[in-house]
């Protein structure tokens, strides 16, 4: 016991603290200082320390809440999952590591929801992606090709839209792809979870599942309030990287061919106060010079090329998004290395632009990605593993829960313009009460490479959240839910599915 404990009015020792907390029970959590829960074995009463491992003693970890569904990760997958679970009547908790929602779509500065329509111009992904865009629209915070132009091959329009954004055109056809505002999106997503009645914990890192054999029973999360647990009937892993998988004993794969897009991390940043008019004038009159300059930047260790914001009043903002090959995107060593390298090369790049490229003379770096851009890591081995064979097939699966336009494979895409996603690709083999709704869905590297963007993850999340609520409502296992009912619910929510 601390001698000092009596000396100061509000001083609390660990033991007293824990005792207080325990006496007050779970309901005390919300009451501020007194409600902070630290586990009973707050001290890491280590039994043995060696240079290779430490032995942590048995500990009691406080359950701060129970729920029907707990979703780990508030990125696109988690947003989709939490919203639909809550809207379907499930008591839903969302745990997010950062201080905002939206994941890569906001904090990662991947401010683009691409490939919503197929080549014919038909919108295939709607649901919550569409809802997000419509809410942004009300605040003039999104930009995309006009609806009447989706699918057009008119060379003039194609050229116009291509010039506007890399994401607007594939195979000389205009697509529905939307640039979105990161900050307004954070606000809108928070409105959506509040309206749906989702209980959200920000600044909370969901680190491990609570397991009982092969049954998932909840999640442990770390926060400024200490280590705590949430018990739930269904856990949805929307961590992006499948962070819960190794702890559940689920199988997963992680091989990625180095040539694939998803093999790269991104370190994105925005440059502000750019005179784009001046730049465009220079560009059109000095094409050769600018090519040479881009070569020179790369030689200096920087990064050539950028995208424009396209959003209203953001005419002086450009977005730079260098890619970084790496050994693993779930290795803390690699994440740190790329952050350091990214910042170094950012300065090289910006110094060069400022000095040499007209329009950038008064520019400054306004923002680096609050989350590093991650693209590919663990992929669960689920009840169905998506591969390129499924991309080549034009036949819906019985348990299709999403239709994704296939637009990034050139002529192959023209042959099979949509891909059907089965519910089973979110169910880990052998593990119960767990769904994976993020880019860790069950797929080989190639299928993952094409379908792990923002709208894809939202769509997977929508299906997972809806399925979880249905399983709980009908009191059946996640594997045994009535798929037709699930599909009907998704359609009602605005998800586009085959008839």
Least CB distance to other proteins at residue 195 (A): 12
Q: How many residues line the site for other proteins (CB under 8 A)? A: 135
| Residue 114 vs 240, nearer CB to other proteins | 240
381 binds other proteins (CB under 8 A): yes
CB of 312 to other proteins, least distance (A): 8
Strand partners, 265: 324
What are the CA-CA distances from residue 144 to residues 117, 134, 168, 174, 485 (Å)? 12, 12, 8, 10, 33
For residues 330 and 68, give the distance between their C-alpha atoms in angstroms, rounded to a whole number: 29
In angstroms, the CA 124 to CA 116 distance is: 6
Contact between 369 and other proteins (CB under 8 A)? yes
Whether 494 and 131 have beta carbons less than 8 Å apart is answered as yes
Is residue 224 within the footprint of other proteins (CB under 8 A)?
Answer: yes
3-state secondary structure 426-493: HCECCCECEEECCCCCCECHHHHHHCCCHHHHHHHHHHHHHHHHHHHHHCCCHHHCCHHHHHHHHHHC
Which residue stretch of 360-368, 399-407, 411-419, 486-494 sits at the interface with other proteins (rule: CB under 8 A)? Answer: 360-368
Measured CA to CA, the distance from residue 376 to residue 140 in angstroms comes to: 32
Q: How far is the CB of 265 from other proteins (least distance, A)?
A: 11
Q: Which is nearer to other proteins, 60 or 153 (CB)?
A: 60
Name which of 309 and 400 has its Cβ closer to other proteins. Answer: 309
Instruction: Identify which of residues 371 and 493 has a Cβ nearer to other proteins in the complex.
Output: 371
CB of 125 to other proteins, least distance (A): 26
Site stretch for other proteins (CB under 8 A), options 8-16, 279-287, 433-441, 463-471: 8-16
DSSP assignment of 127-196: HHHHHHHHHHHTTT-EE---GGGTT---HHHHHHHHHH-TTSEETTEE---EEE-HHHHHHHHHHHHHHH
Measured from the CB of residue 412, what is the shortest distance to other proteins in angstroms? 23
Q: Which of residues 9-68 bind other proteins (CB under 8 A)?
A: 9-15, 17, 25-26, 29-33, 35-36, 38-40, 42-47, 49-63, 66
Shortest distance (Å) from residue 99 CB to other proteins? 5
Residues 6+ apart with CB under 8 A from 467: 401, 423, 426, 435, 478, 481, 486
Does position 211 interact with other proteins (CB under 8 A)? The reply is: yes
Nearer to other proteins, 313 or 475 (CB): 313
Answer for which of 148, 195, 296, 333 binds other proteins (CB under 8 A) is: 333
- Determine the interface stretch with other proteins among 116-124, 285-293, 326-334, 412-420 (rule: CB under 8 A): 326-334
Judge whether 224 and 203 are in contact, CB under 8 Å: yes
Work out whether 203 is an interface residue with other proteins (CB under 8 A). yes
Smallest separation (angstroms) from other proteins to the CB of 74: 11
Comparison of 381 and 414: residue with beta carbon closer to other proteins? 381
Q: At its nearest, how many Å lie between other proteins and the CB of residue 59?
A: 5
State the residue for tokens 């009043």. Answer: 313
98 to 36, 214, 224, 232: CA distances (angstroms): 19, 29, 12, 22
Q: Is 273 in the site for other proteins (CB under 8 A)?
A: yes
> Under the criterion CB under 8 A, does residue 332 sit at the interface with other proteins?
yes
Eight-class DSSP state of 47: S
- Contact between 483 and 423 under an 8 Å Cβ cutoff? The reply is yes
Q: Which stretch binds other proteins (CB under 8 A): 221-229, 285-293, 459-467, 487-495?
A: 221-229
Q: What gap in Å lies between CA 391 and CA 444, rounded to an integer?
A: 12
C-alpha 32/C-alpha 15 separation (Å) is 18
Where does this chain touch other proteins (CB under 8 A) — which range of 82-90, 267-275, 392-400, 433-441? Answer: 267-275
Q: Is 282 in the site for other proteins (CB under 8 A)?
A: no
Distance separating alpha carbons of residues 169 and 159, to the nearest angstrom: 9
> Is-contact 61 228, C-beta < 8 A?
yes
Tokens of residue 24, six digits: 């007050």
Binding residues for other proteins restricted to 103-122, rule: CB under 8 A: 107
Question: Of 245-253, 295-303, 393-401, 474-482, which segment contacts other proteins by CB under 8 A?
Answer: 245-253
Site for other proteins in 121-180 (CB under 8 A): none
- Residue 280 binds to other proteins (criterion: CB under 8 A): no
Give the torsion sign (CA, 15, 17, 18, 19): positive
The binder of other proteins chosen from 84, 88, 115, 248 (CB under 8 A): 248
The residue among 133, 117, 77 whose CA lies nearest residue 405 is 117
**Residue 284 touches other proteins, criterion: CB under 8 A:** no
364 touching other proteins, by CB under 8 A:
yes
Cα–Cα dist 88/366, whole Å: 40
Is 396 an interacting residue with respect to other proteins (CB under 8 A)? no
The minimum distance between CB 450 and other proteins, in angstroms, equals: 18
Restricting to residues 433-472, which ones interact with other proteins according to CB under 8 A? 444
């Amino acid at each position: 016991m601390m001698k000092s404990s009596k000396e100061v009015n509000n001083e609390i020792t660990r033991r007293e603290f824990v005792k207080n907390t325990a006496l007050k029970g779970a309901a005390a959590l919300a009451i501020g200082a007194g409600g902070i829960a630290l586990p009973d074995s707050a001290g890491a009463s280590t039994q043995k320390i060696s240079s290779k491992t430490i032995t942590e003693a048995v500990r009691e970890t406080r359950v701060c809440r129970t729920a029907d569904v707990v979703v780990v990760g508030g990125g696109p997958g988690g947003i989709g999952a939490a919203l639909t679970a809550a809207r379907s009547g499930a008591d839903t908790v969302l745990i997010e590591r950062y201080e905002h929602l939206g994941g890569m779509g906001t904090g990662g500065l991947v401010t683009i929801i691409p490939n919503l329509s197929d080549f014919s111009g038909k919108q295939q992904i709607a649901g919550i992606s569409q809802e997000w865009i419509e809410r942004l629209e009300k605040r003039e915070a999104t930009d995309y090709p006009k609806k009447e132009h989706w699918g057009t091959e008119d060379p003039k329009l194609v050229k116009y839209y291509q010039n506007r954004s890399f994401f607007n055109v594939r195979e000389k056809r205009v697509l529905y792809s939307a640039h979105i505002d990161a900050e307004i999106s954070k606000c809108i997503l928070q409105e959506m979870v509040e309206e749906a009645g989702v209980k959200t914990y920000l600044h909370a890192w969901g680190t491990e599942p609570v397991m009982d054999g092969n049954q998932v029973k909840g999640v442990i999360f770390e926060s400024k309030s200490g280590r705590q647990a949430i018990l739930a009937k269904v856990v949805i892993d929307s961590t992006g990287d499948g962070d819960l998988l190794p702890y559940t004993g689920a199988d997963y794969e992680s091989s990625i061919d180095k040539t694939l897009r998803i093999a790269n991390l991104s370190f994105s940043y925005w440059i502000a106060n750019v005179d784009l008019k001046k730049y465009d004038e220079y560009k059109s009159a000095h094409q050769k010079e600018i090519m040479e300059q881009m070569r020179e930047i790369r030689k200096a260790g920087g990064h050539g090329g950028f995208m424009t914001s396209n959003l209203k009043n953001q005419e002086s903002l450009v977005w730079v998004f260098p890619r970084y090959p790496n050994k693993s995107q779930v290795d803390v060593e690699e994440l740190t290395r790329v952050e350091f390298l990214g910042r170094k090369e950012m300065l090289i790049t910006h110094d060069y632009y400022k000095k040499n490229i007209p329009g950038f003379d008064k520019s400054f770096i306004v923002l680096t990605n609050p989350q590093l851009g991650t693209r590919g890591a663990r992929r669960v081995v689920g009840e169905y593993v998506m591969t390129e064979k499924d991309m080549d097939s034009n036949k819906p699966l019985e348990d299709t829960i999403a239709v994704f336009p296939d637009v990034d494979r050139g002529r192959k895409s023209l042959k099979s313009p949509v891909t059907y996603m089965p519910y089973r690709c979110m169910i880990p083999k052998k593990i119960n009460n767990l769904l994976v709704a993020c880019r860790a869905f069950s797929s080989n590297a190639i299928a993952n490479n094409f379908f792990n963007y923002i709208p894809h993850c939202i769509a997977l999340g929508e299906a997972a959240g809806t399925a979880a609520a249905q399983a709980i409502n009908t009191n059946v296992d996640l594997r045994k839910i009535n798929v037709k009912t699930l599909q009907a619910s998704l359609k009602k929510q605005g998800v586009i599915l085959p008839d």
